[in-house]
Amino acid sequence: MMHTAACIFDLDGVIVDTARYHFLAWKRLTDQLGIHFTEEDNERLKGVSRMASLEIILGIGNRKVNERQKQEYATLKNSWYIDYISKMTPDEVLPGCLTFIEELRNANVRVAIGSASKNTPMILERVGIRDLFDAIADGNIVREAKPNPEVFIKAAEMVGIKPGKCVVFEDAVAGVQAALNAGMMCIGVGSPKILRKAHFVVPGLNEMNLAKLISIEKNIRE
Ligand code: B16
Ligand code: MG
């Protein structure tokens, strides 16, 4: 018997690779502001909300700006980011994602999104997978950013499953911590060196399937 009743997926870095577009949009802003911003710096922005990302960037450049300017910068960056994501196509769904979700749905497991991104609806629409999910919890409905567990707790509520029966798939350290704070099992997607706190780590969803999930949960919950 399977214990897991719902799987909650982070979006950026798990289902699609929008980190590249975030980087290009932030880079355009930092170039304009004369701040030196690298791909390595971009790692620190993964899973972090838009305003928190801007704070990190201003910290890198040692800049102090007022609230109004911050809003302006964030809006500008987002308009460039939207230019990229509005051109996304279904072939940008990461390998293995669709077959795994299909398998979960056939096994009557609820499937939800738990993402910090306010652009979640547009991304899901563009890559054509909105209808695959029973619920979408995203940056538009939460107040607290990961590692606060709010987004995952909301997703669990929306599908009517207790946190203890949910599994989260996450690529960011802050996201893994959010899942643990929610009292959920967490499977990291990426490097085990970075996602140390996850219960188990796979390099991508192409290395995930229902049988593997059942054996992982058995090992962890026993
Ligand atoms: P937006 P996730 C996160 O998505 C990204 O990883 C993070 O880099 C981004 O700053 C955040 O969404 C907010 O995105 O500006 O579109 O609201 O990984 O939680 O799916
Ligand atoms: Mg992510």
74 and 97 co-located in one domain: no
Please state whether beta strands 135-137 and 185-189 pair in parallel, antiparallel, or not at all (unpaired): unpaired
Q: How confident is the model at residue 44 (pLDDT cuts 50, 70, 90)?
A: confident
Q: What distance in Å separates the CA atoms of residue 210 and residue 47, rounded to the nearest whole number?
A: 26
Q: Beta-carbon neighbour count of residue 137 at 10 Å? A: 24
pLDDT: which is higher, 110 or 44: 110
Q: Which of 67, 85, 103 is the last residue of a domain?
A: 85
Domain with 55, as residue range(s), is 19-85
Count of the separate structural domains present in the chain: 2
Q: What sign has the CA pseudo-torsion 35, 40, 42, 47?
A: negative
Residue 166 and residue 191 in one domain: yes
Q: Is 171 a catalytic residue?
A: no
Mark whether 66 and 98 lie in a shared domain: no
Q: Is the pLDDT of residue 93 over 80?
A: yes
Query: How remote is the CA of residue 218 from the centroid of ligand 1, in Å?
Result: 31
Ligand in nearest proximity to the CA of 45? 1
> What pLDDT does residue 96 have?
97
Please choose, from the candidates 142, 146, 169, 150, the residue with its C-alpha nearest in 3D space to the C-alpha of residue 6: 169
Q: What percent of the chain has pLDDT over 90?
A: 94
Return the ligand 1 atom nearest residue 116 CA.
19
CATH of the domain at 136: 3.40.50.1000
**Spacing, Cα 17 to ligand 2 middle (Å):** 9
Alpha helices in the chain (DSSP H): 19-33, 39-43, 50-60, 67-85, 97-106, 120-127, 150-159, 173-181, 210-221
In a domain, 1, yes or no: no
Nearest ligand to the CA of 19 is 1
Domain match, 112 and 24 both:
no
- Kindly indicate the confidence band of residue 161, based on its pLDDT and cuts at 50, 70 and 90: very high
Confidence at residue 68, expressed as pLDDT on a 0 to 100 scale: 98
**pLDDT tens digits along 45-60:** 988 899 999 999 999 9
Give me the half-sphere count of Cα atoms (radius 13 Å) on the Cβ side of residue 173. Answer: 7
Residue 10 Cβ contacting ligand 1 at under 6 Å:
yes
Q: Is the residue at 12 inside a domain?
A: yes
Whether 160 shows a pLDDT value over 80: the answer reads yes
Q: Residue whose CA is closest, atom 1 of ligand 1?
A: 117
Q: Are residues 191 and 209 in the same domain?
A: yes
On whether both 114 and 159 belong to a single domain, the answer is yes
State in Å: Cα 186 to ligand 1 middle. 19
Residues 68, 137, single domain; the answer is no
Q: What is the pLDDT averaged over residues 139-146?
A: 94
Is 133 a residue whose pLDDT tops 90?
yes
Which is nearest to 216 in space by CA: 81, 11, 207, 49?
A: 207
* pLDDT at residue 2 in the model: 86
Measured by CA distance, the residue closest to atom 16 of ligand 1 is 117
> pLDDT tens across 168-196, in order?
999 999 999 999 999 999 999 999 999 99
Q: Residue 221's pLDDT band (boundaries 50, 70, 90)?
A: confident
- In DSSP terms, 8 is beta-bridged to 112, 168
159 backbone dihedrals φ, ψ, rounded to 5°: -95, 0
